[in-house]
């Protein structure tokens, strides 16, 4: 795989190019703005918050899934993110956009969960089922059983957290630079610098993985010939 497939242009925008315009309903007619829905939810209107959930649930789930290989856990974290957002609506600054604030909650919750897993010493392959399991000692390289998207996830795990977040949001999920800056609460200049560094780190990690696999194959071939 060429790492160029991860790169997108600055014109890509998750809030402007999602499956459905968040400011229009299914009929294509203008819908209530996020700000109005947040205002209603803060006044106790559960239907207003329900509309926000419908508006963002699929996208939040996709973002969480980029970090979390377990489908069920990704669903649980998505639900928890909305619950946390609802509980903290009074802390939300209405002069800012709701979307980046929500995604920040979801990403932070996901990283908290991953840190807890790491502290417990768990190791999981990024499998389609999302089930945690230890590597089979008879398997020389787990990548033999991984598809391309799974390999990307495993290489991403080698990229430091702050850079991985920028790379996932910007290159895999199509957030614009300004949107990533809003989600991470960093300047756009910082995001551009981190993105360049993250792409370099990913490329180097991918190339190391390729070299390791090729060397292992060569060693196995030599052993067979002997």
Of 122, 157, 179, the residue that ends a domain is 122
The pLDDT score that the predictor gives to residue 225 is: 62
Backbone φ and ψ of 30, nearest 5°: -55, 135
Q: Distance (Å, rounded) from C-alpha 166 to C-alpha 104? A: 12
The answer on 209 and 152 residing in a single domain is yes
The answer on 14 and 41 residing in a single domain is no
The answer on 47 and 4 residing in a single domain is no
* 132 found inside a domain: no
Instruction: Count how many domains the chain has.
Output: 2
Q: Which domain holds residue 12?
A: 1-18+143-226
The answer on 114 and 151 residing in a single domain is no
* 27 found inside a domain: no
> Tokens 């991918």 appear where?
206
The answer on 93 and 44 residing in a single domain is yes
Per-residue model confidence as pLDDT tens for the chain (226 residues): 444 445 443 434 445 433 344 444 443 434 689 999 999 999 999 999 999 999 999 999 999 999 987 899 999 999 999 999 999 999 999 899 999 999 999 999 999 998 888 777 644 433 333 333 333 434 444 444 456 777 888 888 889 999 999 999 999 999 999 999 999 999 999 999 999 999 999 999 999 888 877 777 766 666 666 6
Report residue 35 as tokens: 């700000």
* 137 found inside a domain: no
The pLDDT score that the predictor gives to residue 35 is: 92
In three-state form (DSSP H/G/I as H, E/B as E, the rest C), the secondary structure along the chain is CCHHHHCCCCCCCCCCCCCCCCCECCCCCECCCHHHHHHHHHCCCHHHHHHHHHHHHHHHHHHHHHHCCCHHHHHHHHHHHHHHHHHCHHHCCCCCCHHHHHHHHHHHHHHHHHHHHHHCCCCCCCCCCCCCCCCCCCCCCHHHHCCHHHHHHHHHCCCCHHHHHHHHHHHHCCCCHHHHHHHHCCCHHHHHHHHHHHHHHHHHHHHHHHHHHHHHHHHHHHHHHC
**Cβ contact 156:110 at 8 Å:** no
The pLDDT score that the predictor gives to residue 120 is: 73
The answer on 114 and 38 residing in a single domain is yes
The answer on 1 and 45 residing in a single domain is no
Please report, for the domain that includes residue 226, its CATH number. Answer: 1.10.10.10
The answer on 157 and 96 residing in a single domain is no
Backbone φ and ψ of 171, nearest 5°: -95, -30
The pLDDT score that the predictor gives to residue 83 is: 96
CA 39 to chain centroid, in Å, comes to 28
* 183 found inside a domain: yes
* 26 found inside a domain: no
**Dihedral over Cα of 28, 29, 33, 38: its sign:** negative
The answer on 206 and 162 residing in a single domain is yes
The answer on 164 and 117 residing in a single domain is no
The answer on 215 and 158 residing in a single domain is yes
The answer on 95 and 65 residing in a single domain is yes
């Amino acid at each position: 795989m060429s790492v160029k497939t991860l790169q997108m242009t600055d014109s890509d925008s998750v809030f402007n190019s999602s499956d459905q315009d968040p400011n229009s309903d299914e009929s294509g007619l203008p819908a209530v703005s996020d700000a109005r829905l947040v205002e209603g939810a803060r006044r106790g209107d559960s239907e207003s918050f329900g509309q926000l959930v419908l508006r963002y649930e699929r996208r939040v789930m996709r973002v969480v899934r980029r970090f979390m290989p377990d489908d069920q856990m990704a669903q649980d974290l998505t639900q928890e993110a909305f619950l946390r957002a609802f509980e903290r609506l009074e802390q939300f600054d209405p002069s800012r956009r709701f979307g980046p604030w929500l995604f920040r909650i979801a990403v932070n919750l996901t990283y908290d969960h991953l840190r807890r897993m790491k502290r417990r010493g768990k190791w999981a392959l990024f499998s389609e089922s999302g089930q945690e399991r230890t590597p089979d000692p008879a398997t020389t390289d787990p990548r033999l059983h991984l598809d391309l998207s799974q390999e990307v996830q495993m290489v991403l795990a080698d990229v430091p957290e702050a850079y991985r977040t920028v790379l996932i949001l910007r290159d895999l999920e199509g957030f614009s630079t300004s949107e990533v800056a809003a989600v991470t609460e960093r300047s756009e200049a910082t995001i551009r610098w981190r993105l360049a560094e993250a792409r370099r780190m990913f490329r180097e990690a991918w190339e190391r993985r390729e070299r390791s696999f090729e060397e292992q194959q060569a060693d196995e071939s030599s052993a067979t010939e002997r």
